[in-house]
């Protein structure tokens, strides 16, 4: 309870009922009936004479807070959290790259038929939300002041909000933190020529270049311990921010690599300890597991079973898969605390899944939703210890065998700790030197193919290299066992394709098809196709 201008205001806090599966809360009870748990507390506040109540919620997806507002009685304001969404009214000045997800405030009707407002103000201190209300004698909202809205947390936003003098205590904190941050920003590991996309709406809904990079880094580190490691899986919810920023020019806003920091000698594009820690804030440790083909199928079916922006959404290395988001998702039977106990419905979203083994051979695990080959054959996976223990409800991972945690239990986790995902990314970047793969739209994604946005190319042959020679040109491609392939070519993009070779049977490895003509043209185009 707070007192503001002589008026008592009741505040009730709540977090998501899925807390146990999306984080590691330890021995904490998590109630599952959110409205049924909150309402009695609100009623207690009203019984004490309070008639203005605010609910502080952290439900991860603001649609849940909008729904909650309509289910509670005698609540005036719900402040949403965890979705990273920006609510703003027309005319609010937003930061580069941001768009308003909803109005500020969103107006709803409570379970008791009274007005209730829902607000949200982004994340990572990018905005300050300001809500100025007046109430009538009964404690009902009478008016929303026009100054309410989203204020960008920059110099102009400070002026827009009234230019209040900074508090000395805050200045002291900022000064001390600046020295710590600069020290971390001066510790650099490779560089990037492109913006590394870690935006919540991207890493939780589609493949991203940062997701690929950190999944690759985890697989690289895992193979130093176990060369048989084949696939890497991490959750999009574990990526907390991008590495890079936004710039504006000529009225357009566009993403850019990390900014320079002349104070510590950091050049634009350099990736620092600060960048890595900011993006991979949880610094999960890595775990190796052996999964059967059936368990891998169930793992990836659950990976795409969510809706909205679920933290379980996958970022992967060593495999390619496609999914149809409109198909029925996997579901679980759960214990009273929300923990999965058994798969209830196996799901129908996963359509094709191919594993790319360490020797570059292909293993077809799922085709058109059906298991292929021996369901008990095994794959060695590296994932986050959080997920290996069932985090984000990855039930199938808890069934894996021969688990090896790359960081011993109880090891203090810092940036330099071997076996942590921050160290893995730093070492991999240092090895690469420079990264230059831009983040593409979901219609171009190859590892995670959303069939609501692109066609399915998981089973399509993948060209590996082309080697011209005087006696013809060799075209190397990845093949699937049992498929038949043909090579076509032409000198220009106009005109029909010319068949060059008879059919070649695939065996799952890198195969060769040959253009018998000498490489005399200035340029030559090739394509490999699967024969019916």
Each residue of 374-414: pLDDT tens digit?
A: 999 999 999 999 999 999 999 999 999 999 999 998 899 99
Each residue of 255-299: pLDDT tens digit?
A: 999 999 999 999 999 999 999 999 999 999 999 999 999 999 999
pLDDT category, 521, cuts 50, 70, 90?
A: low
State yes or no: cis peptide before 105, omega within 30 of 0: yes
Block residue for tokens 């032409």: 490
Give the DSSP H or E segment for 68.
helix 62-71
Q: Would you tell me the crossing angle of helices 421-432 and 209-225 to the nearest 10 degrees?
A: 100
Q: For residue 222, give the nearest of 113, 100, 317, 327 by alpha carbon.
A: 317
pLDDT category, 433, cuts 50, 70, 90?
A: very high
Q: Work out the average pLDDT over 101-130.
A: 95
Q: For residue 350, give the nearest of 381, 379, 320 by alpha carbon.
A: 320
Q: For residue 35, give the nearest of 51, 2, 59, 52 by alpha carbon.
A: 59
- Total residue count of the chain as it appears in this document: 532
Could you tell me the strand order of the sheet in which 53-58 lies? 2-4, 7-15, 53-58, 77-79, 115-119, 106-109
Per-residue model confidence (pLDDT) at position 422: 98
Mapped to the 3 state alphabet, what secondary structure does 413-481 carry? CCCCCCCEHHHHHHHHHHHHCEECCCCCCHHHCCCEEECCCCCCCCCCCEEEEEEEECCEEEEEEECCC
Select the highest-mean-pLDDT range: 121-130, 266-275, 457-466, 481-490.
266-275
Per-residue model confidence (pLDDT) at position 406: 98
Q: Work out the average pLDDT over 67-90.
A: 96
Per-residue model confidence (pLDDT) at position 336: 85
Average pLDDT, the chain: 94
Domains of the chain are: 2-160 (3.60.21.10), 180-450 (3.90.780.10), 462-530 (2.60.40)
Structure token pair of residue 382 = 């590296």
Distance CA 242, CA 519 (A): 44
Q: Residue 355: phi, psi to the nearest 5?
A: -95, 135
Question: Do residues 54 and 77 make contact, with C-beta atoms less than 8 angstroms apart?
Answer: yes
Q: Is the pLDDT of residue 57 over 80?
A: yes
Per-residue model confidence (pLDDT) at position 56: 97
Share of the chain above pLDDT 90, in %: 83
Block residue for tokens 């985090």: 391
Each residue of 222-259: pLDDT tens digit?
A: 999 999 999 999 999 999 999 999 888 887 889 999 99
Structure token pair of residue 514 = 């040959």
Give the DSSP H or E segment for 371.
strand 370-371
User: Per mean pLDDT, which range of 5-14, 44-53, 507-516 is the poorest?
Assistant: 507-516
Q: Work out the average pLDDT over 505-515.
A: 90
Distance CA 324, CA 304 (A): 9
Q: Work out the average pLDDT over 296-323.
A: 97
Per-residue model confidence (pLDDT) at position 44: 97
Please provide the DSSP assignment of 252-281 as one string.
EEEEESPPPBGGGTBPTTEEEHHHHHHHST
Strands, E, within 154-261: which ranges?
Answer: 188-192, 229-235, 245-249, 252-256
Block residue for tokens 């849940």: 64
Per-residue model confidence (pLDDT) at position 24: 85
Per-residue model confidence (pLDDT) at position 14: 96
3-state secondary structure of 129: strand
Per-residue model confidence (pLDDT) at position 524: 86
HSE toward the beta carbon, residue 115, CA cutoff 13 A: 15
Per-residue model confidence (pLDDT) at position 520: 66
Each residue of 170-219: pLDDT tens digit?
A: 999 999 999 999 999 999 999 999 999 999 999 999 999 999 999 999 99
Each residue of 130-171: pLDDT tens digit?
A: 999 999 999 999 999 999 999 999 999 999 999 989 899 999
Q: Work out the average pLDDT over 65-73.
A: 97
Per-residue model confidence (pLDDT) at position 518: 75
Question: Do residues 443 and 454 make contact, with C-beta atoms less than 8 angstroms apart?
Answer: yes
pLDDT category, 5, cuts 50, 70, 90?
A: confident
């Amino acid at each position: 309870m707070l007192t503001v201008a002589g008026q008592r205001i009741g505040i009730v806090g709540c977090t998501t009922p899925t807390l146990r599966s999306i984080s590691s809360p330890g021995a904490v009870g998590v109630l599952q009936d959110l409205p049924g748990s909150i309402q009695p507390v609100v009623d207690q506040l009203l019984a004490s004479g309070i008639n203005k109540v605010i609910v502080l919620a952290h439900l991860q997806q603001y649609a849940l807070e909008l729904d909650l507002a309509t289910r509670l009685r005698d609540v005036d304001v719900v402040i949403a959290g965890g979705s990273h969404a920006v609510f703003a009214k027309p005319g609010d000045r937003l930061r580069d790259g941001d768009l308003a997800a909803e109005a500020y405030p969103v107006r709803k009707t409570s379970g008791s038929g009274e007005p209730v407002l829902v607000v949200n103000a982004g994340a990572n201190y990018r905005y300050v939300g300001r809500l100025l209300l007046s109430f009538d004698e009964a404690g009902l909202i009478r008016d929303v002041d026009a100054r309410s809205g989203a204020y960008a947390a920059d110099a102009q936003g400070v002026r827009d909000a009234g230019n209040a003098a900074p508090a000395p205590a805050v200045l002291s904190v900022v000064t001390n933190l600046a020295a710590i941050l600069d020290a971390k920003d001066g510790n650099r590991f490779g560089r990037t020529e492109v913006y590394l996309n870690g935006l919540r709406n991207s890493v939780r809904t589609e493949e991203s270049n940062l997701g690929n990079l950190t999944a690759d880094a985890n697989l690289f580190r895992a193979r130093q311990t176990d060369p048989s490691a084949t696939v890497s899986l991490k959750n999009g919810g574990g990526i907390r921010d991008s590495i890079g920023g936004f710039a504006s020019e000529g009225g357009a806003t566009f993403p850019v690599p990390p900014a320079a920091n002349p104070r510590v000698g950091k050049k634009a594009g350099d990736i620092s300890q600060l960048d890595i820690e900011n993006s991979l804030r949880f610094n999960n440790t890595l775990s190796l597991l052996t999964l059967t083909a059936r368990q891998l199928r169930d793992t990836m079916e659950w990976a795409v079973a969510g809706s909205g922006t679920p933290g379980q959404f996958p970022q992967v290395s060593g495999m390619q898969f496609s999914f149809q988001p409109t198909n029925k998702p996997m579901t679980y039977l759960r214990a009273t605390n929300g923990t999965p106990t058994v798969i209830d419905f196996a799901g129908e979203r996963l359509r094709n899944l191919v594993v790319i083994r360490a020797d570059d051979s292909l293993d077809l695990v799922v085709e058109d939703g059906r298991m292929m080959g021996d369901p008990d054959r095994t794959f060695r996976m590296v994932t986050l210890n959080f997920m290996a223990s069932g985090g984000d409800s990855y039930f199938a991972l808890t069934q894996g065998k021969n688990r090896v945690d790359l960081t011993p239990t109880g090891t203090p986790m810092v940036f330099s700790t071997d076996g942590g995902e921050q160290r893995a990314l730093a070492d991999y970047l240092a090895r690469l030197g420079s990264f230059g793969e831009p983040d593409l739209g979901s219609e171009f994604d190859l590892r995670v193919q959303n069939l609501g946005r692109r066609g399915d190319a998981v089973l399509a042959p993948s060209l590996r290299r082309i080697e011209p020679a005087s006696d013809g040109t060799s075209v190397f491609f990845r093949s699937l066992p049992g498929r038949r392939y043909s090579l076509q070519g032409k000198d220009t993009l106009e005109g029909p394709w010319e068949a060059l070779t008879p059919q070649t049977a695939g065996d799952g490895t890198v195969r060769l098809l040959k253009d018998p003509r000498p490489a005399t043209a200035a340029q030559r185009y090739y394509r490999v196709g699967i024969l019916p």
